[in-house]
Amino acid sequence: MSNHRDDDLEPALRAMLGDHHLDVHPRADAVGTVLDGVGRARRRRNAGYAAASTLVVAGVIGAITLTGGDVPQGFDPVVTPSVTETVTAPTTPATPTPPPTRPPSSGTTTPPTVPVAPEVEMLGPDGIGDIVLGMPVADAYGTDTLGMYDPVTETLMPWDGSGAENVCMPAGQAKRTTPDAARVWMDDSAGVSEIAIWPTISNPDVQTVEGLRLFDDLDRVLELYPDARVDDTNPSTLRIYVDDWGGQGSVLTIRDLLTGTVMDMSVVLVGGEGGCYE
Amino acid sequence: MVMTQITMGTTSAVLSFEDFVAARLPALLRYATLVAGNRHDASDLVQSALEKTGVRWRTVATNGSPEAYVRRAILNAHISRWRRRRREVLVQDTPEVAWTAPAAAWEHGELWAGLQQLPPRQRAVIVLRYYEDLSEREIALALGIAPGTVKSQASKALDALRATLTDSGTTDSNQEVLP
């Protein structure tokens, strides 16, 4: 781990970190507080499942309707939300994808179109795919491109319904990711406030609209963004900021270039942060 | 109440979530305090991690190591928060608030103070290495960074800690300091 084994620092660290002075004694009601929180989380999740079930039923009915099938009695045809798919357009506001137009009756059934995933997803000055900076939380969920980010397995999970009410919790931020693309932070007051990509979660085929990708080198960064602002004041990293990126009032931050390559890119709206952030 | 032996992350029987929390909460809070650097953030991190764990307890308890799961969730939440704060530095200079340990004469006071001054990722590397006894590779996986970055971060952290101790006039921890 270290070449500095010529002193007693490492043993001292072990002793300090294991010292009983750092023991933490929970309050008497701590277990109850945890259990109460789990109960609330379960209720939110169940509510989310119920909402998701409704959408699935609506989707099935809509699909039946579009393909000319019979709709079960007792159900009204419902316009379906857009299906989950990755969209390349970086600046498109979130609007529900209209259902495909049913072709003129020909007496035959048209097979469904299989969506083809684009090869590269664009991170632009105002967002990624259907996710746009400043978009209200509900609209962001409405794009149907967000999944639950599992903090342990680092895998994408279906949205568990924990919902916007969680995003302002002081313990953390909304952690939602577009499939294999980016992590999105949201809160009730500011909506989508940051979109970030980095190697552990992102699809390597994400790039900025100018063509910068993760693992590109510093020369490439400066070639694409010659007027970028360089911040080398932090001894552990090197950041480059592209202010007023694309004239949209957002800032592109490119991080950790001391390693020689781009390890993190994010776009934020300056002044767009909401009240829940410190 | 299910009687079961709880060791570091393993259970020998189906354990209720309540029993797990009651048994392991102090250790989890301590771990989170070391990672986060202060007890206020540690409490938030543990609460959040346990809520996530609790709603899927049956799966977590039967398929693996519950404590390892919670610790990983704590660490990831800490890293996410750190990333958030990095972004905040961009728009407004908001230094992380340092935590002061309970007042008492403490032989490790200088070293603890130095640990608090490390950037969050360096602090996490040190805690994982010297408290959790993880290897470089395990730390890299836990933090989602390259092993080479773990090595460089650890080296910088140790250099900084060494400098702190040198500045304070000691490289040994036998003096009494008010932490």
What pLDDT, in 10s, does the model give residues B39-55?
A: 777 888 888 888 888 88
Dig out the tokens for B78 from the structure: 């800490």
**Res A225 pLDDT > 90:** yes
Region of B113 please: left (phi>0), alpha (psi -120 to 50) or beta: alpha
Of B47, B131, B171, the CB nearest to A7: B171
Residue with more model confidence, A57 or B1: A57
Cα–Cα dist A101/B42, whole Å: 53
In terms of C-beta distances under 8 Å and separation of at least 24 residues, what long-range contacts does B51-58 make, across chains too?
B51/A34, B51/A37, B51/A38, B51/A40, B51/A41, B52/A41, B52/A151, B52/A152, B53/B17, B54/A34, B54/A35, B54/A37, B54/A38, B54/A41, B54/A42, B54/B17, B54/B21, B55/A38, B55/A41, B55/A42, B55/A45, B55/A160, B57/B17, B57/B20
pLDDT digits (tens, 9 = 90+) for A99-122: 333 333 343 344 344 444 445 678
pLDDT digits (tens, 9 = 90+) for A132-170: 888 887 888 777 676 654 444 433 333 333 222 222 222
Beginning with the edge strand found earlier in the chain, give each strand of the sheet holding A176-178 in spatial order.
A156-157, A147-149, A176-178, A182-187, A191-197, A264-269, A250-255, A239-245, A229-231
Q: Which of B82, B90, B138 to mutate to test the interface with A (most CBs of A within 10 A)?
A: B90
Residue with more model confidence, A208 or A59: A208
Q: Indicate yes or no: CB of A34 within 8 angstroms of CB of B51.
A: yes
Nearest CA in chain B to A231: B90
Q: Which of A14, A21, A231 to mutate to test the interface with B (most CBs of B within 10 A)?
A: A21
Dig out the tokens for A238 from the structure: 């090197």
pLDDT digits (tens, 9 = 90+) for A3-23: 444 468 999 999 989 888 787
Distance of CA B115 to the CA centre of its chain: 12
pLDDT digits (tens, 9 = 90+) for A27-48: 777 888 888 878 877 776 666 5
Question: In chain A, positions 155-174, which contact chain B (CB-CB < 8 Å)?
Answer: 160, 169-173
Q: Is A260 on the interface with B (CB under 8 A)?
A: no
As a whole number, the mean pLDDT across chain A is 62
State the smallest CA–CA distance between residue B61 and chain A in angstroms. 14
Question: In chain B, positions 9-38, which contact chain A (CB-CB < 8 Å)?
Answer: 17-18, 21-22, 25-26, 29-30, 33-34
ipTM entry: 0.72
Averaged pLDDT, B68-86:
74
